[in-house]
Amino acid sequence: MTAHPAGPVAAPAAAAPRFEPSLMRRKLAGTVFLGVCLLAVGLLLLTLAVLLWDILSRGVPWLDAQFLTSGPSRRAARAGVLPALVGSIEIALLVALITFPVGVAAAIYLEEYATDGRINRLLRTNISNLAGVPSIVYGIFGLALFVRGLGLGFTLLAGALTLSLLILPVVIIASMEALRAVPHAQREAAFALGGSRWQVVRGSVLPAAAPGILTGIILAMARAIGETAPLILVGAVTFVTFLPNPIASGYTVLPIQIFQWAGDPREDFQSLAAAAITVLLVLMFVLNALAIVIRARLSRHLTW
Amino acid sequence: MEEETPVTVTTPPHTPSGTQPPRVPIRIVTGPAGAGAAAMPAPQPGEPGGHGEPGGHGEPGNSGNSGEPATTVRLEAISCWYGGFRAIRDVSLDIERRRITALIGPSGCGKSTLLRTMNRMNDLVPSFRLAGRVTFDGVDIYGRGVDPVVVRRRVGMVFQKPNPFPKSIYDNVAFGPRINGYRGKLDELVERSLRRAALWDEVKDKLRQSGLSLSGGQQQRLCIARTIATEPEVILMDEPCSALDPRATLQIEELMAELSRDYTIVIVTHNMQQAARASDTTIFITMGDDRAGYVVERGPTLRIFTNPEHRLTEDYVSGRFG
Amino acid sequence: MTAAPASFTRRTPVRERLVEAFLALSAAIGILTTVGIVAVLVFEAVEFFREVPLLEYLTGTVWSASIKPFRFGVLPLVTGTLLVAGLALLIAIPLGLVSGIYLAEYASPRIRTVLKPLLELIAGIPTVVLGFFAINFISPILLKSLVPGIGGFSVLAGGIVVGILVTPLIASLSEDALRAVPRSLREGAFAMGATKFEVVRRVVVPAALSGIMASIILAMSRAVGETMAVVLAVGANPQLTLDIRESVQTMTAFIVQISLGDTPAGSLQFKALFAVGATLFLMTLALNLLSDRVVARFRNRY
């Protein structure tokens, strides 16, 4: 206490001159920063608006029955997206069909069964790291494993399997979150009734987690529908005039079709690309809306 | 009725500086007044002598020869709401300068809310609403043109859980002076603040280490050092020891006694022994059936704990309720 | 060992054992995928490095995979990738960080409920759509009028679209990091007489710094692995340049180029695809692991 023997150290009158809070300047800095914030957010929203306007203003006029019911053509006026649209829907359904059982099973194992901390942690770390692998690397893997290794060739099935591997971490993580959200009491109640682990999971936990899991899968489908790069590697081709058969060679999907048209500098083909993008966005929008509805519907019956 | 009473509360003695004598666990003791050191803190020269119960809420007594009013913070007919919930009903009270005032009462009765009206911390809660007047040295701190930032520099606060910034010990203490444009030597101010918070000897060799590397009690003293570095006039303490062990709690209480020579301290506590040990004035707050808090009784700590006027106070301090 | 009385034992039915085996197998698919990816990349890349020495690959400055004489120096692809990713981050870091701060600290709940889905919308735009936006709007309309001498394909156009792509990632991850900063720290700073901006700048952002860094590293990884937008915006011209008005080729764009052409399996070009894929995988893996580390440090903090 050498600095101030007994004197009124905190006597504000004596201390005041040594502080120059310059409140005006500090407040101004805050205001300026808030302005910067609004500018950044505004710029983002502006970008989104310009992007949507650029696409819709070009694409919507081209959307007609003819566009939705024909295949690609060398003449823009006669071109359409039907094979690509059907290909996208088929591939999305296949992906859902494959990832649903596997993804949910993996999530159940990790959340409800795995007891060994080390193995559990390894599996979880691995899954989160898989989610960070570039999609094109999955394409390379799909090419080596499904197309060549398993001899599936350049088929829609090979494409769906490749996308399934890509989407699986997303489905697993979403399902794990849904399972984790089920209150512990729910499990204990079922165990107390003498249920085995599987009976508890199937009869009690899964139904409660169903809305979350379903939502996760639908959102994953939306993501799969937009993927392009891996499908280029596993042989989705750009000029398909027929509707795809999952195990026969030759299929296309919307993003691939968009990619091809977008790369064509002729004005009409740019518009075709914009129109196909509109279809793709509508499809994704429908899936997202579906996810929201399902979450709202199912969780209404299961409130706690 | 105050100082002559045969009933004594042993409060931390105000030793001049440095070492505090070891103290027995403090209890409310009935019997003849003990040694001089264990009596109520002697009024400081130049301050109003016996600070009795201010009956009613007249003008702040301007009695002392220091020229300072005895009251620093004054709440006038304060009511508070969080959204539709009324947390405080019509509370009026005075906080005396350079005294330790304890707010006690059952949990959830609005002690913290009341404390936070004194430095406008509740402004940060969007649904918060306040009616009534809070004055600081006569100025309405909720008045038009009053900036809460200014209020908070002059009315510092120490929180329930130690909350040092994840910065070095030095930067924690230097935070306030830096933002408030301190013109003196920062090193000296940091050292002085840490010394005042009785922390200097423990940290002087590791000022660059993170404040989070300290123990809980040290962290809380760091937060006190951080608060006094901006040289406030009032220090609000919101259950400052509830996260600390008994030893660290005692250190903080000794520190409070030391600091009360220069600062006005308001402490919220649910620990009645702490209020009894460490405060000069005690205000008992409880809540009505609608859970809105109100003041039941206010008086010198000694009297509140030994001879409360109100039945509710008696029940609470004797542990029958709360 | 004393056997439990019969009334307390229960043989796990075969069906439940099968179920459990299926569950475990599913959980293992992630590991199998990882092992598979690494095995495929290593196996095929080794084939490639039998014909092209590793040193030549790593230090060569000319990449010519389709025009003779074939040269496989990966540096042009790597610099092209890093140039695009770097530019993207230059755009995305300030934009994403500031938006994240705004969402976490300033926006009212009402504004947040509108803004967050919009950001998610941007994050969910398929990358091929952003590629279209680049060649249909950014390059011919925006950049042509602003940057003299810029071509239809450029690093700049690629950097901008990839920047748009990863901005929401930085925004939402740093928002999470900022929100994770305990309220008590904010209150502590306010109680010292700090203004809102001072609380944010001097306490909240520094406290969330590791989380923010992790989000930036993840964005970098995302930008490096980004494919379709880059193929369409940057073109396929593998050259070693730092001129952002030039067209270059990224690693991902090369992979796409090879798989679009009729490259026979087993040819050197086809093997090069795997070598480049392995390089890309290693780069993103390193970034992801780094980000995990930074996040782990962050968790131990409070």
Classify domain C63-299 at the CATH class level.
Answer: mainly alpha
On chain A, the residues whose CB falls within 8 A of the CB of C226 are: 134
CB contact under 8 A, C194 and B166: no
The mean pLDDT of C21-47, rounded to a whole number, is 91
Asked if the model's pLDDT at residue C144 lies above 90, the reply is no
- Which chain B residue lies closest to C206 (C-alpha atoms)? B166
pLDDT of residue B65: 45
Helices (H) and strands (E) in chain A, counts: 13, 0
CB contact under 8 A, A19 and B181: yes
Q: How confident is the model at residue A114 (pLDDT cuts 50, 70, 90)?
A: confident
Q: Which of A18, A20, A24 to mutate to test the interface with B (most CBs of B within 10 A)?
A: A18
Query: Cβ distance B238 to B112 under 8 Å?
Result: yes
- Any chains having at least 3 CB pairs less than 8 A from chain B are A, C
On chain B, the residues whose CB falls within 8 A of the CB of C202 are: 175, 179
Q: How confident is the model at residue C182 (pLDDT cuts 50, 70, 90)?
A: very high
Q: Is A273 helix (H, G, I), strand (E, B) or coil?
A: helix
CB contact under 8 A, C277 and A136: yes
> Which of C184, C189, C301 comes nearest B161 by C-beta?
C184
pLDDT-wise least confident of B51-60, B94-103, B210-219: B51-60
- Any chains having at least 3 CB pairs less than 8 A from chain A are B, C
On chain A, the residues whose CB falls within 8 A of the CB of C34 are: 126, 129-130
Q: How confident is the model at residue B201 (pLDDT cuts 50, 70, 90)?
A: very high
The string of pLDDT tens digits covering residues B94-124 is 999 999 999 999 888 899 999 999 999 999 8
- Chain mean position to CA A294: 17
The rounded distance, in Å, linking the Cα atoms of B130 and B122 is 9
The string of pLDDT tens digits covering residues A158-217 is 999 999 999 999 999 999 999 988 888 878 888 888 778 888 888 888 888 888 898 889
The rounded distance, in Å, linking the Cα atoms of B130 and B18 is 42
The mean pLDDT of A269-277, rounded to a whole number, is 93
The boundaries of the domain holding residue B94 are: 17-317
pLDDT of residue B215: 93
The rounded distance, in Å, linking the Cα atoms of C207 and C188 is 13
CB contact under 8 A, A140 and C277: yes
Asked if the model's pLDDT at residue A98 lies above 80, the reply is yes
Q: How many structural domains does chain B have?
A: 1
- Chain mean position to CA A300: 25
pLDDT of residue A120: 83
- Chain mean position to CA A275: 22
The per-residue pLDDT of chain C, averaged, comes to 89
CB contact under 8 A, C16 and A196: yes
The rounded distance, in Å, linking the Cα atoms of B252 and B158 is 11
pLDDT of residue B59: 39
Q: Which two tokens stand for residue B81?
A: 């709401």
Q: How confident is the model at residue A302 (pLDDT cuts 50, 70, 90)?
A: low
The mean pLDDT of B273-286, rounded to a whole number, is 92
CB contact under 8 A, A23 and B147: yes
The per-residue pLDDT of chain A, averaged, comes to 84
pLDDT of residue A127: 86
Go through the domains of chain A in sequence order and give each one's CATH number: 80-299 (1.10.3720.10)
Q: Which of C23, C103, C114, C135 to mutate to test the interface with A (most CBs of A within 10 A)?
A: C23
> Which of C191, C198, C207 comes nearest B166 by C-beta?
C207
On chain B, the residues whose CB falls within 8 A of the CB of A22 are: 181
> Which of A4, A10, A20 comes nearest B233 by C-beta?
A10
pLDDT of residue A14: 44
Question: Strands B28-29 and B8-9: what pairing?
Answer: antiparallel
The per-residue pLDDT of chain B, averaged, comes to 80
Domain ranges of chain C: 6-50, 63-299
Q: Would you call C94 exposed, middle or buried from its count of C-beta atoms within 10 A (0-12, 13-18, 19+)?
A: middle
* pLDDT greater at residue B276 or residue B66: B276
* pLDDT greater at residue A299 or residue C277: C277
Q: Which of C265, C39, C281 is nearest to A148 (CA)?
A: C265
On chain A, the residues whose CB falls within 8 A of the CB of C19 are: 198
In percent, how much of chain B has pLDDT > 70? Answer: 78
The string of pLDDT tens digits covering residues C83-115 is 999 999 999 999 999 999 999 999 999 999 999
On chain C, the residues whose CB falls within 8 A of the CB of B180 are: 193
On chain C, the residues whose CB falls within 8 A of the CB of B163 are: 182, 184-185, 187-188
pLDDT of residue C189: 95
CB contact under 8 A, C192 and B230: yes
Could you tell me how many CB contacts below 8 A there are between chain A and chain B? Answer: 52
Distance from CA of A218 to the nearest CA of C (A): 14
CB contact under 8 A, B175 and C184: no
The string of pLDDT tens digits covering residues C260-270 is 877 787 888 88
- Any chains having at least 3 CB pairs less than 8 A from chain C are A, B
pLDDT of residue C202: 93
Query: The sheet that has B85-96: what strands, in order across it?
Result: B139-140, B128-136, B71-82, B85-96, B293-300, B281-287, B100-104, B264-268, B234-238, B155-158
Q: Which of C271, C277, C281, C219 is nearest to C253 (CA)?
A: C277
In percent, how much of chain C has pLDDT > 70? Answer: 95
The pTM score is 0.83
Asked if the model's pLDDT at residue A54 lies above 90, the reply is yes
pLDDT of residue B90: 93
Q: CA separation (Å) from B193 to A7, A152, B149, B222?
A: 15, 75, 21, 9
Handedness of CA B113, B115, B118, B124 (dihedral sign): negative
Distance from CA of A303 to the nearest CA of C (A): 23
Q: Which of C251, C259, C276, C281 to mutate to test the interface with A (most CBs of A within 10 A)?
A: C259
Q: Which amino acid is at C251?
A: M
pLDDT-wise least confident of A8-17, A185-194, B158-167: A8-17
On chain C, the residues whose CB falls within 8 A of the CB of A116 are: none
Write the CATH number for B229: 3.40.50.300
